[in-house]
Amino acid sequence: MKAIVCEKPRVFKRINKDNPQLKKGTAIVNVKRIGVCGTDLHAFTGNQPFFEYPRALGHELAGVIESVGENSYGLKRGDQVSVIPYMECGKCIACRRGLTNCCTNMKVMGVHFDGGMAEQISVPCDHLIKTNELSLDQSAIIEPLSIGAHAVRRSDLQKGDFALVIGAGPIGLGVMQAAKQKGAKVIAMDMNEERLAFSKVWAKVDYAINVENGPVEQLMNITNGDKPSIVFDATGSSKSMVDAFQYPANGGKLVFVGLVKSDITFSDPLFHSKELTLMASRNATKEDFDFVINSLENGFIDEKSFITHRSKFDDLPNEFENWLKPETGVIKAMIEI
């Protein structure tokens, strides 16, 4: 079968490899859609933590089951599926507490082992979700939107809260969308006016502010001097993450959704004076996938405008570099097989 590996930073290589073999507890999936996310782009440029080369990227996946043995999940040949790409150990303290998204021995498809940039993959049955009622495109965006849903669920956001989401990329948009569904008054923050405009239309945010135009003053005006109760940073920028400590209200929460390959420092007096709660949000769980699937089935999410760029699998090496350029206006790029 055909596959594409990232051999080293900024170098893709087309290869042929053996088809995966069916094993007990797994299914063989014909990959049909591969969403491109920040993790893939960072790996391609050499800036992704926990990463080794060569590696087949791709963990935002939709496909059709080619073969599967007896299972207790109702999976059969021909079922359309989405993939939960986080492979937990099931034994560590996090897994024993149901926190499989932050397993101490976590292996993420496309990061720690080869991902979905191949015609077929083998996936444990308990990491497949049937999506026969959705389109392939919808199935492929469940995973990235689940990351936003998980961050919102973890924050314990309440109806009527002011929620600031920094970063209007795909993950930030997912946070905005989930926060709106929970009844929050959502503020989008970015430095890109086109993305801010998109967040107003796609995520239906209540306010959009440019970080370069006095963000603290703007936040004070919007919240009548209170500042937002919850701040989500989905930028993957260390500067943004440091600056974000200014934005929450006293007694509020700051949730880091984005991951950056560096240290984060902050003012302890500011942190203590506000009695802030600082949280990390990593990956997602099946509960978050189910939330997004329900949102898609009920028409809360517009996948057509979310997916802005496409490529055929064979054309991928030529397209990927262009998706790194801000002027291309990529929100979500999708690879079709």
- pLDDT tens by residue, 132-143: 999 999 999 999
pLDDT at 39: 85
- Residue 14 is assigned to a structural domain of this protein: yes
Question: Tell me: the pLDDT tens digits for 160-197?
Answer: 999 999 999 999 999 999 999 999 999 999 999 999 99
Considering the domain architecture, whether residues 311 and 180 belong to the same structural domain is answered as no
Residue 54: asked if its preceding bond is cis (omega within 30°), the reply is yes
Rounded Cα–Cα distance for residues 118 and 18 (Å): 11
Rounded Cα–Cα distance for residues 215 and 165 (Å): 12
Alpha-carbon distances, residue 171 vs 44, 176, 213, 284 (angstroms): 18, 9, 23, 12
Give residue 58's domain range.
Answer: 2-141+301-336
Number of domains in the chain: 2
- Residue 285 is assigned to a structural domain of this protein: no
Considering the domain architecture, whether residues 135 and 196 belong to the same structural domain is answered as no
pLDDT at 117: 97
Lowest mean pLDDT among 33-42, 143-152, 296-305: 33-42
Higher pLDDT: 313 or 51? It is 313
- Residue 265 is assigned to a structural domain of this protein: yes
- Residue 291 is assigned to a structural domain of this protein: no
Burial grade of 99 (CB within 10 A; 0-12, 13-18, 19 or more): middle
> Could you say which DSSP state residue 21 is in?
P
φ and ψ of 284, to 5 deg: -160, 170
Mean pLDDT of the chain: 95
- Residue 295 is assigned to a structural domain of this protein: no
